[in-house]
Structure 1
Amino acid sequence: MAGRAAHDMTEGPVFGHILRMIMPMSFGILAMMLVGIVDTYWVGTLGTAEQAAVQMSFPVTMLVMSVSIGLGAGAVSAVSRAAGRKDGSSTLARISTDAMSLALISVGSVSLLGVIFVEPIFAGLGASETMMPHVVDYMTVWFAGIVLIVGPMVAGNILRALGHAIVPSLMMIAAAVVNLVLDPIFILDDVFGLFPGLGWGVSGAALATVAANAMTFLMVAWYLVFKEKLIDFKPEDLGEVWHHWVDVARVGLPACLSNIFNPLAMTVAMSGLAMARFGDAAVGGLGVAGRIEAFAIVPLFALSACIGAVTGQNGGADRLDRVREAFRSSFLFCIGWSVSIAAILWITAPWLADLFLPSEAGQSAAIAYWRIVPVTIAGYGITIAASAGFNGLGRPAHGMVITASRALGLMIPAVIIGAYYLDAPVGVIWGVAFANVLAGAATALFVLLRAPMTAKHGRQRKRRADPQADPVAAQDTP
């Protein structure tokens, strides 16, 4: 293995490996979610137009980040399968290097186009004249620094593919802490009499994010190069580089699409086709309920970020029994966590609704959501875990079909039908619950009874033997 020995997840308790990565990853995700909340608070002190500008940027930033998440999934798949095959340290370093270069080149292209076309993009999205200057200020900095934001994400995925849990999570937490410290300094004109004149408004919010991630990028780059020796600076045959890019992209591109399906379904649930029919208060109630639920199910998000490394390594090693066990134990974890969270939210629902929502209509919608949907959230967890697990096996089509079936095939029709049939907010809520239950049950049955557990390695390319993987073969190579 590259550098210090990576964790061999083809041996030992299967779910033990997953659980070892879930816990630190959960803290990293929570830290990043906290940054979003604090960003919103500080920008809100600048004024309504400034806050609206940052909120307006959210769909675009999420779309770009979906690309990076997809490329990260592709990196996990390629690296973990190679680790499972015991390809050797030089091959792992070559694949890791090529995965990073693909991510940086791809996102760098997006960065350049974004900076050039930021104003036309948001004019097309309907940004008002008062909002546009602030949108341009924020997004120009964000687009210019996106490579520094995406780099650590992909690097963290490479480390997770080799079974490392603590370091990538610490990097996420470090970036979040620095971002939280820099936010008021960079955004406000004066912070308790300190740092006068450093406040750059909305552009300062973006700059704080870029600066925090730049620091993290330097740290993780040092770790990859000197500690793990996963970056190979030696010139390489372009055909080999292209081969690795294709292997990463064939998983990464479908994974990008999969990350778009669920936000799209939730957008429809909030729209005039569903919840918005019942007024702003109902929409607010659903929005608050969803945000609180997102915090409650962070371990399920962490699970989806970790399972691909386990299925990838075991699939690469042809340990099909362990691949199946990874899926089975993950599904049971989703069910257990869902039941626990459902019990907590059932009890605390009235208090949470009163704390976050001013109107009775909004409170009623939120309470109904927290008492119906959380017990079914296991179904959502099963679908995202299955999708990520298949990505790890190099089978992204399976994952994309699973997420598309829940979001587009079930949830969108269910929330619209529920809204019109029951003619009440609870109809939308029952639609979400129905989609979770049916998608989760169908996914679990398919994965455990019918789905292939083998890794798909794609078209193999003949290459020189790796002397660290097979010294004898390397000596025989002309």
Structure 2
Amino acid sequence: MRDLTQGPIPKHVVAMSVPIAAGMLLQTLYFFIDLYFVARLGNAALAGVGTAGNVMFVVFALTQALGVGTGALVSQAVGRKDQPEANLVFNQSVGMGAWMAAATILGGYALSGPYMTMLGADAATAQAGTTFLYWFLPGLALQFPMVVMGSALRGTGIVKPTMVVQMLTVLLNAALAPVLIAGWGTGHALGVAGAGLATSIATLAGNVVLAVYFVRLEKYVRFDPSQWAPRLATWKRLLSIGVPAGGEFAAMAVFTGTVYGIAGTFGPEAQAGFGIGSRINQMIFLPAMAVAFAAAPIVGQNYGAKHAGRVRETFRVSAIASALIMLAITLACQFEAESMAHIFTSDPAVVEVTATFLRVISWNFIAMGIVFTCSSTFQGLGNTWPSLLSMGGRVSVFVVLAFWLSHQPGFQLRQLWLLSVATATLQALFSLWLVRGQFRSRLGASAAADPARA
């Protein structure tokens, strides 16, 4: 366990965010490795895997609900020096994660075909996406135990073991992708099925390694099967924090699904271009997201310890750092958009869609950095409903206006990207206002007990 209630806040932010960024980078490389080899299979396969990848947002909504609730309650318990409570929360999350993993498998196999038929630009795209999902779903289900273990460790201030495990899984995935997708060394190319299978195998291996770490080395929170049976009071506390956070990802799934559906009217090249652009976004967002994610356990421990001044300072330091990082990323996208697209495809039509998307959408990066920081602050405070209100408001406005624009004469995809920039800016302003309100209502009572303010 690492005590985040003492010492300089900027030092804690850096120490937490660097391993988190490395772990997130490696996790994102899963999708880039698959995308690189899938792109060699043609635009239908690329569009199919990209469209199918939106299912990740749905599953990530569930893992986010579980992980955020776990991390928030564990970090607050650590701040109060209440180890039995931290251990109970962790083990209840293990049990809940098992139920969610089972639901992912059953629901995923039942709905993959209808989902791809609805969103695929053509029959070939739908078939490719469905095949990919059938082999990818086990890997998605295995995200639940991985998230539970990683979130519990992050709540205790420990992030390096999770990063190391993610590194190992990415290396395994990188080795399996060319073998399973392209048939290197075997002569049996599985195509898009191999992309899903490679990720599933690698994720399974990562779970095994992280579980071994918990059994042999972790002391603060440990596996205790006697605490896995549902305790409704603890589940309620986990879900009251986690469900709104999961709702944010669900809203993003609606957002992305809307764009894929509208882009499909422009053909598989448009869907493929948006898919590549979205994956590039996921990677280049990582430094700012890591800073924001590091804020959650720091805020949580200091909120649990009633250090109001340190909570405010964590938000301020994280928000400024995220904004500066996003400014640098925005400039990179303005000048290197085509170069980024060419890493994955040489199709001029796909490159054009990707480059246009990156140039326009990058103008919302600073706003999104602020949104990420606000969201993590809400998590640390144990109230994620403001995040859901902020994201839900943005997505609702975007979806309504996007469908209206798509039916206007002369509609172009560029208009969707501009709409996204406008709604993201409004979301950032709204989130800042909500953070200010939460600080007034939740930190006022603890300010008098805060040595930093004294």
Shorter chain as denominator, the TM-score bin is: 0.7 to 0.9
CA displacement at 1:378 relative to structure 2: 1.6
Q: 1:251 aligns with which of 241, 247, 250?
A: 241
Aligned residues with identical type, % of pairs: 22
Structure 1 contact 112–144 (Cα < 8 Å) conserved: no
Structure 2 Cα separation of the partners of residues 131 and 282 of structure 1? 12
Partner amino acid for 2:206?
T
Q: 2:394 aligns with which of 406, 409, 419?
A: 406
Distance 1:202 1:429, change over 3 A: closer
Q: What is the one-letter code of the residue matched to 1:257?
A: G
Per-residue deviation, residues 333-374 of structure 1 (Å, max 9, x unmatched):
12211222233333435665788676599749835852x543
Q: State the one-letter code of the partner of 2:106.
A: L
Show the 5 A alignment for 1:207-356: 207-229=197-219, 230-233=221-224, 235-236=226-227, 241-269=231-259, 272=262, 289-349=277-337
CA distance in 1, matches of 2:152, 2:195: 28
1:300-355 CA distance string (max 9 Å, x none):
22234332212211111122222222222222112211222233333435665788
The change in CA–CA distance for 1:148 and 1:292 in structure 2 (over 3 A counts) is closer
Q: CA deviation at 1:50?
A: 5.3
Corresponding residue for residue 474 of structure 1: none
Largest Rg, 1 or 2: 1
> Cα–Cα, structure 1 residues 361 and 36, in superposed 2: closer, same or farther, change >3 Å?
closer
User: Of the candidates 65, 72, 81, which is equivalent to residue 70 of structure 1?
Assistant: 65
**Partner SS state of residue 81, structure 2:** coil
Looking at structure 2, the residues matched to 136 and 348 of structure 1 have their Cα atoms a distance apart, in angstroms, of 33
| Residues 376/130 of structure 1: CA separation in 2 closer, same or farther (3 Å cut) | closer
Stretches of structure 2 that go unaligned for 5 or more consecutive residues are 444-454
What is the aligned partner in structure 2 of residue 173 from structure 1? 167
Residues 71 and 154, structure 2, Cα contact 8 Å, conserved in 1: yes
Post-superposition shift, 1:129?
A: 6.8
Residue 7 of structure 2 aligns to a residue whose secondary structure is coil
Q: Which moved more, 1:32-41 or 1:49-58?
A: 49-58
Which residue pairs with 1:466 in the alignment? none
Are the equivalent residues in 1 in contact too, given 2:37–2:178 (CA < 8 A)?
yes
The worse-fitting range, judged by mean Cα deviation, of 115-124 and 341-350 is 115-124
| Deviation of the 1:107 alpha carbon | 1.4
Which residue of the partner structure matches residue 30 of structure 2?
Answer: 35
Aligned-partner residue type, residue 375 of structure 2: S
Shift of 1:403: 1.7
Are residues 283 and 132 of structure 1, via their aligned partners in 2, closer, same or farther at CA, if it must alter by over 3 Å?
A: closer
Question: TM-score, normalised on structure 1?
Answer: 0.78
Query: In the alignment, residue 154 of structure 2 is paired with which amino acid?
Result: R
1:395 alignment counterpart: 383
Assess if the C-alpha contact under 8 Å between 2:165 and 2:210 holds in 1.
Answer: yes
Structure 1 residues 244-253 or 289-298, which shifts more? 289-298
Tell me the equivalent position of 2:448: none
- Does the CA contact (< 8 Å) of 1:387 and 1:402 recur in 2? no
Q: Distance in 1 between matches of 2:110 and 2:438?
A: 48
> Against the structure 1 CA distance between its residues 115 and 318, is the aligned structure 2 distance closer, same or farther, given a 3 Å change threshold?
same
Cα offset, 1:8, TM superposition? 0.9
**Does the CA-based 8 Å contact 1:307-1:385 persist in structure 2?**
yes
Displacement of 1:34 in angstroms is: 2.3
Report the TM-score when normalising by structure 2. Answer: 0.82
Q: Which residue of 1 aligns with 2:87?
A: 93
Match of 1:381 among 356, 369, 389: 369
- Residue 116 of structure 1 and its aligned partner are, at CA, apart by 5.6
Does the C-alpha gap of structure 1 residues 16 and 282 become closer, same or farther in structure 2, counting only changes over 3 Å? Answer: same
Structure 1 residue 431, shift from structure 2 partner: 2.6
2:101 maps to 107
- The aligned residue for residue 450 of structure 2 is none
CA contact (8 A) 1:8 1:163 kept: yes
Question: How far has the Cα of 1:454 moved from its partner?
Answer: 3.1
Q: For residues 264-293 of structure 1, give each alpha carbon's deviation from its aligned partner in whole angstroms, at most 9, with x where no partner exists.
A: 334445654xx7888988777666555444
- Code of the residue aligned with 2:355 in structure 1: it is A
Q: Give the AA of the match of 1:178.
A: L
| Alpha-carbon shift at residue 412 of structure 1 (Å) | 4.2
Which of 24, 46, 53 lines up with 1:58 in the alignment? 53
Correspondence for 1:159: 153
Question: What is aligned with 1:460?
Answer: none
2:451 aligns with none
State the distance in 2 between where 1:365 and 1:204 align: 25
SS at match of 2:30: helix
Q: Deviations over 1:184-232 (max 9, x none)?
A: 223344x2xx3455x5444333222122112111111121222113224
The aligned length equals 440
Whole-angstrom CA distance in 1 between matches of 2:133 and 2:127: 10
Tell me, which stretches of 5 or more residues in structure 1 are unaligned? 1-5, 456-478
Distance across 2 between alignment mates of 1:338 and 1:312:
25
Distance 1:454 1:316, change over 3 A: farther
CA pair 26-118 structure 1, distance change in 2 beyond 3 A? same
Q: Is the 8 A contact 1:108 1:146 kept in 2?
A: no
Are the counterparts in 1 of residues 4 and 301 from structure 2 also a CA contact under 8 Å? Answer: yes
Q: In the aligned structure 2, how far is the partner of 1:237 from the partner of 1:281?
A: 47
The 10-residue stretch of structure 1 (435-444 or 380-389) with the greater mean CA deviation from structure 2: 435-444
Q: What amino acid is the match of 2:94?
A: M
| Bigger mean CA offset, 382-391 vs 130-139 | 130-139
Per the alignment, do residues 228 and 323 of structure 1 end up closer, same or farther by CA in structure 2, a change over 3 Å counting? Answer: same
Provide the rounded CA distance (Å) in 2 between the counterparts of 1:237 and 1:364. Answer: 48
Q: Could you tell me how far apart the structure 2 residues matched to 1:102 and 1:19 are? A: 32
SS in structure 2 of the partner of residue 345 of structure 1: helix
SS in 1 for 2:198: helix
Distance 2:350 2:47 in 1: 24
Structure 2: which amino acid aligns with 1:295?
Answer: M
State whether residues 79 and 95 of structure 1, in contact with CA within 8 Å, keep that contact through their aligned partners in structure 2.
yes
